[in-house]
Amino acid sequence: MDQPVVDMLKYLINSTREMDDIENSQKTFYLNKFLRYGDSPKALSWNDEKTQEIRFNLISDLFKHENNIPFSIHEVGCGLAHYLEYLSHRYPQALYSGSDIVPEFLEYNKKKYPDKQFFLDNIASEKSDSVLSFMDVDYYCLNGTFHTKEENSVHEWENFIFKSIKNMFTLAKKGIAFNFLTSNSDYYDSSLYYANPAEIITWCLRNCSRFISIRHDLPLFEFFVYIYKEDFIKKTYPEHHKYFKNI
């Protein structure tokens, strides 16, 4: 077998192991929280409902171009689907679905919201055979998943992060949103991941789209990123087609 092929196989095997290690550590972390705190923000590693609502308000900036016409949103790492409850009051036209890697979350959600779709899925995994690749969804969002890396190395965690972002952006019809703990913080915990906003934006510009916005103006030590598909922005601003590619 040619050496380049051998090297590629080794890379794929190591990458798969890394993703498996991360998935297993995250399952254990959140399941323990759920068993301890039940159906509450603390089960998702949030402090309380007030800070959870701040995050819900900010992740929902993703829909700023929408009106009262129905649109679809898929929440990655949906946890206990508290965001669904928020949307039902603030954006009743939103058509919600969710996915998570913790089966116990999904079982609980299906009993609580039997009319909604919930899927067992790791967004960082290969998407060719995933049920998500067959869905027709306008927006993908992820809220808090990138915060807690536990014992995973920074290198492994960043591989997970960028695969997740890339897959979400590929799957979404209109755009995606996600958040990070900011490196501009006055407190550090080695089990958490703090992202440099400039580095994240640079990566997203190079690998996703130039249509990006960021919110770093909240009291929490976090920032939110919003990335839109070019064809969606072009349709949103029909009078400014000269600034777009021919798509």
For residues 88-102, give the mean pLDDT. 96
Rg of the chain's alpha carbons, rounded to an integer? Answer: 18
Tell me what pLDDT residue 18 has. Answer: 65
For residues 73-77, give the mean pLDDT. 97
Tell me what pLDDT residue 3 has. Answer: 47
Residue 135 pLDDT exceeds 90: no
pLDDT digits (tens, 9 = 90+) for 155-168: 999 999 999 999 99
State the helix-helix crossing angle for 154-171 and 3-37, rounded to 10 degrees. Answer: 90
User: 3-state SS of 129-172?
Assistant: CCHHHHCCCCEEEECCCCCECCCCCHHHHHHHHHHHHHHHHHHC
Task: CATH number of the domain at 186, please.
Answer: 3.40.50.150
- The residue segments making up the domain with residue 211 are 3-243
What single string gives the DSSP state of each residue in 53-97? HHHHHHHGGGGTT--SS-EEEEEET-TT-HHHHHHHHH-TTEEEE
**What values do phi and psi take at 195, rounded to 5?**
-100, 145
Residue 64 pLDDT exceeds 80: yes
Residue 180: both structure tokens together? 């990070």
For residues 128-146, give the mean pLDDT. 85
State the helix-helix crossing angle for 82-90 and 49-59, rounded to 10 degrees. Answer: 60
Tell me what pLDDT residue 12 has. Answer: 34
Residue 8 pLDDT exceeds 50: no
Residue 11 pLDDT exceeds 50: no
Total domains in the chain come to 1
Residue 197 pLDDT exceeds 80: yes
Residue 67 pLDDT exceeds 90: no
| Residue with the larger pLDDT of the pair 196 and 130 | 196
* Residues 81, 124, 152, 192, Cα dihedral to 10°: -40
For residues 140-151, give the mean pLDDT. 95
For residues 180-191, give the mean pLDDT. 94
Tell me what pLDDT residue 68 has. Answer: 85
Residue 7 pLDDT exceeds 50: no
| Residue with the larger pLDDT of the pair 57 and 12 | 57
Least confident span in 64-68, 114-118, 196-200: 64-68
pTM value > 0.85: yes
Tell me what pLDDT residue 102 has. Answer: 96
Candidates 175, 141, 151; CA nearest to 59 is 141
Confidence category of residue 132, pLDDT binned at 50, 70, 90: confident
| Residue with the larger pLDDT of the pair 187 and 162 | 162
For residues 24-37, give the mean pLDDT. 93
Tell me what pLDDT residue 230 has. Answer: 95
Confidence category of residue 1, pLDDT binned at 50, 70, 90: low
